[in-house]
Amino acid sequence: MCGAVVIGSRTLLTAAHCVTTYISDPSILRVTVGTSYRLSGGKSYDLKRIVIHESYTSATLENDIALLVTRSDMSFSKSVKAINIASKNFNLPNGTEALVSGFGTVSYEGSPSDVLLAAKVNIVPKESCKRSYLGIASIADGMVCASANNPPRDACQGDSGGPLVTKNVLIGIVSWGEKCANPVYPGVYTRVSEYESWIVSRVNTYG
């Protein structure tokens, strides 16, 4: 359905738009970690709680971030580890190469991938991204854009909530975009550094 990112022994981050339907009954959902296959392997954990950012807005997808809390500790191993999150002052120059990954569709409205895929993308200047989406949507401070060409590369449907990583640091969460791998419209991610204090606070409270 969506991706997520392990940040602690009982906590993961995802996109708020992935889980708004389930906040009243998180037990409907499970998270599976430690496998590169969509339908097999790894270990699954029941969810105890979903914490959606209090200012999340579905109309604009601002503050598109949520914390997932598992009922039991996840077992860490070579294939399951917690990632460091970008701090408020994390330096992210335009053009920085990053890696986005997930089990989402391999083309717009296509079929999901049965294996975990990843794509190298580059951070797009905010003003450039704003111009691309002018008249369509707003690019808020809590968002960061990334894209790649030759060939075009991007996250796609089903990748929402998954990680955008550079130098083993989580800098973004897959949020939204105009179709997939469209050279005119970069992919838009929740900018993790903008939410460092929110993440730490919620982990300390619920994790």
Catalytic residue list: 17, 64, 160
Q: Is 80 exposed, middle or buried (0-12, 13-18, 19+ CB in 10 A)?
A: middle
CA distance 102 to 158: 8
User: What is the rounded distance in angstroms from the CA atom of residue 3 to the CA atom of residue 29?
Assistant: 12
Whether residue 194 contacts residue 2, with contact meaning beta carbons closer than 8 Å, is answered with no
| Tokens, residue 138 | 């707003």
Q: Within its chain, how far is the Cα of 43 from the centroid?
A: 20
